[in-house]
A and B are shown apart, each in its own frame.
Chain A
Amino acid sequence: MGSKKVTSRRNFLKGSVAIAGASVAGAASANSADPLIADVQDWASITGVGVDETPYGLPISFEKDVVRRNVEWLTASPISSINFTPIHALDGTITPQGCAFERHHSGAIELRKEDYRLMINGLVDTPLVFTYSDLERFPRENHVYFCECAANTGMEWAGAQLNGAQFTHGMIHNMEYTGVPLRTLLNEAGLGAAGDLKDKWVYVEGADASSNGRSIPMEKALDDVLVAFKANGEALRMEHGYPVRLVVPGWEGNMWVKWLRRIEVSDAAVESREETSKYTDVYEDGTARKWTWVMDAKSVITSPSPQMPIDHSTGPMVISGLAWSGHGKITRVDVSRDGGITWEAARLGKQGDTKALTRFYLDTEWDGKAMLLQSRAMDETGYVQPTKQQLREMRGENSVYHNNCIQTWFVDENGVVENVEVS
């Protein structure tokens, strides 16, 4: 394992810097035959591994750097902590479960489907208990949604701090969920007892030791909330709430209660720890915003970025990134190379899905000069992603949560990228 050094992008970059822009492998002309082509390689001669070598497939060893990472100093213990999706190394929009960020309050638990129970109680006609197999008998839907922690980019309020898109923007993932609409289950229990639904709430709670609980207004609960049991076609991972989690499209990740065990219809918000002492946003004057559920439109360039330096010479270059909005579809993303003086429209990889990640590309040329790269998302409500200055003017620097500012990467002449803040 340790005998061979894995070629990293950084090593590669170092090599390319040393030969100062000279063309490297893959260039248009060559003086001598490439031994990778001219000589018979081992893999073209010796047979490879058989089927069943890895009954559940894992990424090839060369990709072992594409993993979730933790920032240890952020929290007291990994049991109550968060890690980050390697968004810098992914493309497309779907996040593989194995590298989708984790956030636990009392650790990820192993809960068997057989031991799973879901209770609906409170202001319902009949309080009910469902087993896992009961849930699979209700009509179900498939939808792709992003899940973003409200604290994503939260370390960047007071200044540029972490060097990598994974760390500044990696508290997000995007999966295709299979689940039953929450409204179907509420209807099964009957909402007659709740009377006028306008001012009613649904309190949702997890089965783990933190029993994380959040209050959701009835209007949202009856809209697009899913009680999900599959992600990207397979069972949820333990760390994402196996066997059942809540999916609350467009709203902060903390509300996507994992190991969902109870749904209570209520006439008031519970004002639980997670919706008062946490996930509230302190203004400059010390007052705080509460019930800031929606994740506003946001985007980030994933490549180039500090962990993805430019590893090629001048000429064709793809600038790529992600955009999303909790208000609906992304309709447009602009990219600036000069720190926000001039902008050009990027190409959306495909038509934006509602409350899901949209991939954007700027297919361009690099002239070898330094750049200040920024991206700016717009959603279907016409909302334009704000600058950090705009956010600070409005909220100060102590909000912790909901930092959806425009991110700046400084790219130098060698293609090295750094997280910076600009005037």
Chain B
Amino acid sequence: MGSSRMSKSLNQLVLPIAGGTALAISAALLVANLDYGQNQIESLERRVEQVSLQAEDASKRASEEAQVVTELRAKIEEIQTSAKEQMASGENLREYAPRNDGKFGLGREAVSEEIAAWDVDVLPDGRGLPEGRGDAYTGEEVFADKCASCHGDFAEGVDNWPVLAGGFDTLADKDPVKTVGSYWPYLSTVWDYVHRSMPFGEAQTLTADETYAIVAYILYSNDLVDDDFELSHENFADFEMHNRDGFVVDDRPELEYAKWRTEPCMENCKPSVEITMRATFLDVTPEDGGESVMNHATAQDTPTFVATAAAPEAVEGDADGGPASSPAIDPALLTSGEKVFKKCKACHAVGEGAKNKSGPQLNGLIGRQMGSVAGFKYSKVFVAAHGEGRVWDEAALVEFLAKPKSYMKGTKMAFSGLKKEDDLAAITAYLKSFGE
């Protein structure tokens, strides 16, 4: 493409020069016929000679340039052919990084304290367990303190939170109850998970002894041990879980793949077809999913539908319940308060539309009567505080959040407290910024 355009422009360059020469010659003849002086003729002849020499020169240059163009074209063709060959052979395609069996010398050696800090997983044979012990009695207290707000006092599970106890002999039922007792194959998994990932929102704060005690209590709540049972690193490996032999390693290759690797049917694959079940009966799809709504027909009926009239709820980009701006409050304090609130988020919501979670919603907290959020099941101490007419003010909040369990003895709140004064000031300012 590019080369043909180039040769065209060369032609345009040559033609005006040749045309100019012809014009000069005819002008000279005209002058001779008019019988001008010999000098003038001679000078014109010289001029003609010069012009034709120039023309010759230009034409020579043009042909040289044309030659260059031809060579360039050939070169481009050669490059394109070679690129095509490279593409075809995959020479320039290196999808996979080069295999390197040598070392890059990157990273540094991990020191033993670092490995000890992070490598805390526990294997089924008990490898990885630290020394320690705890009994079910102690475990009950720790559990009530740190776990019961979600899992219930008897490990029965609050709301949608996991049930940890019971469910034996339900695994073959329509809705199996998969608990630590009925389903979990290894005790190591319980210890490892509780120690590493729980309590929710305060993970990795349990001591080894607390963990042994909690695990002992979970076993007790499953009626697997007596209340004086003590679990320790010494007797851990002896404990066999109820569902230990309830698992088989993936056998899809033998049972399913062998059957379902087949030529599929394309025509008359079944004699007839009818609708046996409809999603709309259950009406469990979220409202803003753009779903259709049906008439109150039965599953046996031929379905008839109407489209819904309601427009989907617009997803609001703003008004997501952020702090109300108030000139009286230092914005930096609000920002750090928002950060501190991350520690509370697992159990509490605040802002527009905040609902109760495993803790009450916190809108309009300052000035609110203690234990007063509708629909929230408070612990006894808060019910009592409500009865006494106690009200949340800044001082009460700071004192509570510094040491929840000593300020409100018996609170279900598992949180251990904020140690830094700055954090207490920030969280108070932050919560204060949310009205009713």
Contact = CB atoms under 8 A, between A and B. Distances in A.
Interface stretch (A207-215, A238-246, A314-322): A207-215
Nearest to B159: A76
Contacts, number: 344
Interface in A271-304: 271-273, 276-277, 280, 282, 284-294, 296
Interface in B301-340: 303-312, 314-318
A193 B268 CA distance: 59
A5 B310 CA distance: 11
B261 A289 contact: no
Contacts of A188: 103-104, 106-107
Given A71-B286, A342-B267, A422-B273, A5 B115 contact: no
B248 A289 contact: yes
A209 to B, nearest CB: 4
Contacts of A412: 303-305
Contacts of A414: 305, 307
Given A128-B107, A410-B275, A418-B279, A340 B270 contact: yes
A9 B289 CA distance: 12
Contacts of B140: none
Interface string B281-295: 010111011111010
B286 A276 contact: no
A384 B291 contact: no
Interface in B41-73: none
Interface stretch (A37-45, A119-127, A229-237, A357-365): A119-127
Given A164-B291, A288-B247, A420-B277, A381 B261 contact: yes
Contacts of B201: 106, 209
State the majority secondary structure of interface residues on B.
loop
Contact of B247 (A128, A287, A307): A287
A82 to B, nearest CB: 13
A107 B192 CA distance: 20
Interface stretch (A19-27, A28-36, A90-98, A130-138): A130-138
A423 B274 contact: yes
Interface residues of A, number: 128
Contact of A342 (B122, B256, B269, B271): B269
Contacts of B282: 159, 161
B200 interface: yes
**B: contact size bracket:** 35 or more
Interface stretch (B16-24, B172-180, B402-410, B412-420): B172-180
A282 B171 contact: yes
A334 to B, nearest CB: 7
Contact of A282 (B98, B100, B176): B176
B108 A418 contact: no
Given A129-B110, A137-B104, A64 B186 contact: no
A213 B109 contact: no
B262 interface: yes
Contacts of A141: 95-97
A56 interface: no
B160 interface: yes
Contact of B121 (A213, A284, A343): A213
A334 B145 CA distance: 57
Contacts of B124: 268, 271
B305 A418 contact: yes
A372 B255 contact: no
5 contacts: A130-B107, A160-B277, A287-B171, A288-B247, A292-B252
